[in-house]
Amino acid sequence: MKKYWTSTSPEQTLTLGRKIGQGLAGEAGLIYLTGDLGAGKTKLTQGIVEGLGIEAEVTSPTFALIHEYGPEGEVIHADLYRLESYEELQEIGFEEYLDEDHLILCEWPDLLEEEGLEPILRLDLRRVDGESEQARRIALTADDGALGERMAAIEI
Ligand SMILES: Nc1ncnc2c1ncn2[C@@H]1O[C@H](COP(=O)(O)OP(=O)(O)OP(=O)(O)O)[C@@H](O)[C@H]1O
Ligand SMILES: [Mg+2]
């Protein structure tokens, strides 16, 4: 299933993220966040982490590749923009996160996709031509099922 939202400000993207995060409670797996540089992937992630009930300052993991959040480090935020090979990610122990105990929010997931890793959700953010500088079209793709339906019910 597919669902689209339009955000007209960073605050609205945060609000959407919080609602998505609330709907993700107890879920594990990968979430792919795609869209251009500055589209709002990290902003949306900040909202998602907050919606999951985690109090933390979420900053871009561009250099570290991975940040862990939550009391058990159960939420992972990855940004693979600078990653050159999947092996590099294996070396830092990424595959340990691919289990039932972790939710992984991943920006620039191309190399994961090439490895054939399937996400539970895809979120794609785009600037909107002809609209305000702050307008973003946010598209969700999910399999049919309880999670997809819960996400599709979200309005901002
Ligand atoms: N509607 C909007 N939603 C989200 N961010 C917005 C919006 N309008 C303007 N912005 C601004 O766009 C920027 C988005 O930055 P953010 O770091 O979230 O992008 P990103 O997609 O993670 O980029 P990168 O690929 O470099 O990691 C912020 O400076 C934010 O204030
Ligand atoms: Mg980012």
pLDDT at residue 62 in the model: 86
CA distances to 7, 11, 137, 150 from 107, in Å: 19, 20, 17, 22
CA distances to 104, 109, 131, 135, 141 from 119, in Å: 9, 10, 30, 26, 10
For ligand 1, atom 2: residue with the closest CA: 10
Domains of the chain: 2-152 (3.40.50.300)
Q: 32, 40, 57: which is closest to 110 by C-alpha?
A: 32
CA distances to 9, 38, 77, 99 from 103, in Å: 26, 23, 9, 9
Distance (Å, whole) CA 122 – CA 88: 23
**Mean pLDDT, the chain, whole residue set:** 97
pLDDT at residue 50 in the model: 98
Checking if the pLDDT of 63 tops 90, the result is: no
pLDDT at residue 82 in the model: 94
Q: Quick check: 121 and 28 in contact, CB under 8 A?
A: no
Checking if the pLDDT of 144 tops 90, the result is: no
Distance (Å, whole) CA 80 – CA 147: 25
Residues with CB under 6 A from ligand 1: 7, 9-10, 13, 35, 37-43, 60, 79, 107, 134, 136
Site to probe by mutation for ligand 1, drawn from 4, 18, 42 as the one with most ligand atoms within 8 Å of Cβ, is 42
Distance (Å, whole) CA 97 – CA 93: 8
pLDDT at residue 7 in the model: 98
